[in-house]
Amino acid sequence: MANPWTGEAEVRIDGAPHACKLTLGALAELEAGLGEGSLIDLIRRFESGAFSSRDVMAVIVAGLRGGGWRGTSADLMSADIAGGPVGAAQLAATLLARAFAPPP
């Protein structure tokens, strides 16, 4: 079970639960994968609703990798992510919010 107080979230992929967390290493990998722009640009896109499916996939893959998963985005291309595209976007937004929220 994911611990939201430590920045974790859970996603079900093909019915199996996986922990996600945007660790510093996962964030660095995410930023490198963005090509252009920064994490702040990515967060702004999510806040304004102007994010792309590529953004969503990149955040989820980074979160999964931060949770210990060793796959790639190619492994998720035909996977069933719980909640479909809307659930995936909500998960990505949750991961970003938890990674950058001040401690309670």
Please give the C-alpha separations between residue 14 and each of 5, 69, 80, 84, in angstroms, as whole numbers.
26, 14, 5, 11
What integer pLDDT is reported at residue 101 of this predicted model?
81
Label residue 103 by pLDDT band (50, 70, 90): low
**Res. 16: pLDDT tops 70:** yes
Pair of tokens at residue 101: 């929220």
**Res. 102: pLDDT tops 80:** no
Please spell the DSSP secondary structure of 25-75, one letter per residue. HHHHHHHHHH-SS-HHHHHHHHHHT---HHHHHHHHHHHHHHTT----HHH
The dihedral region occupied by 51, where left means phi > 0, alpha psi between -120 and 50, and beta the remainder, is beta
Query: Span 78-86, mean pLDDT?
Result: 94
Q: Residues 24-71: pLDDT tens digits?
A: 999 998 888 887 678 888 888 899 999 999 999 999 999 999 999 998
